[in-house]
Amino acid sequence: MILDDYTEFCKTWATLRSLFGKSTTKDERKMVFNALSRYSLDAVKKACGVCSQLQMPPLPCDIIRAIEFGVATDAQVDVQAKCIWQQIANGYDNKTDYVFAHPRDALAFYIVLGTHKFYSYQTIGDEVLGKRYVEAYKSCDIYKYQKQAQESQIIFADLMGMPKTRNYVTFINDYTRDGDSESVCTQICNKVYGVNNWTITRFDKLSPLPVTNEPPVLYMTKEDSMKALDVLIDVLKPSKKEDA
């Protein structure tokens, strides 16, 4: 938001507070406006609508959660992240490219796995890995790492020698924007692979991959490894409090 949005923001915030029988002060409005200034006025107004369903008067952190995740409570964010991970884990196939409609979903995947080229069905279904995805989903700074997130909206698989023209893809959390005739994932695939040059693979049950006790083979290139490492260092490094 910019200073020109302040008057309209104050009206929106006052209306939201009044729904809970609360008034607002000039100092409070300034504090909340500054806390939300990185977001657009439209995004803040939509988030206020989401937060109007809360049981208690919303705080700035609630508005931020609603802007970034589209839901009002931490419990709802947890459910959302777990559902996305379930889409990733069900029927996992490391010969299929993953296409993410939402940059946050992609960034969280990239933080946890770097790339899925070297994961098997056994490792991708690991409960600990799922929990790490949920935590990364909740904590990743999509604004700071927007470029990495957008670059990761297609996570390319190692195609194990298959012709690249076969381009098998799995859509994750796909949706269609208002006014568009094609879904977000479809648009991404058409742009990257070319129209009619890719095939979507859907899984109704877990893929019957062979069971093996052999460790997963690492197919990451040096460039892949360095990109993953850069993100991991910046996003997952301990806070100063943890260092103390």
Q: Which three-class secondary structure state does DSSP give residue 85?
A: helix
pLDDT of residue 209: 32
Beta bridge partners of 172: 100
Q: Is the pLDDT of residue 41 over 50?
A: yes
- In tens, the pLDDT along 113-145 reads 776 655 554 555 567 788 888 888 888 877 777
Q: Is the pLDDT of residue 56 over 90?
A: no
Exposure on the CB side of residue 200, measured as CA atoms within 13 A: 15
**Long-range CB pairs of 81-88, under 8 A, 24+ apart, other chains included:** 81/108, 81/133, 81/134, 81/137, 81/138, 82/130, 82/134, 84/108, 84/133, 84/137, 84/172, 84/173, 85/130, 85/133, 85/134, 87/172, 87/173, 88/124, 88/133, 88/172
Among 23-27, 101-105, 184-188, 213-217, the minimum mean pLDDT is found in 213-217
CB atoms within 10 A of CB 85: 23
CB atoms within 10 A of CB 39: 17
Among 12-16, 18-22, 115-119, 237-241, the minimum mean pLDDT is found in 237-241
8 Å CB contact between 75 and 96:
no
Q: Which three-class secondary structure state does DSSP give residue 236?
A: helix
CB atoms within 10 A of CB 115: 23
At 13, the pLDDT band (50, 70, 90 cuts) reads: very high
8 Å CB contact between 121 and 206:
yes
- 170 secondary structure, DSSP code: E
- In tens, the pLDDT along 147-169 reads 777 777 887 765 444 445 567 88
Report the mean per-residue pLDDT for the chain.
Answer: 75
* Greatest CA separation for the chain: 65
pLDDT of residue 203: 45
Q: Is the pLDDT of residue 18 over 50?
A: yes
pLDDT of residue 221: 43
Backbone phi, then psi, for 155, in 5-degree steps? Answer: -100, 105
At 172, the pLDDT band (50, 70, 90 cuts) reads: confident
- In tens, the pLDDT along 204-234 reads 333 333 333 333 333 334 454 445 445 444 5
Work out whether strand 199-200 and strand 168-172 pair parallel, antiparallel, or are unpaired. parallel
pTM: 0.64
The one-letter code for the residue type at 111 is I
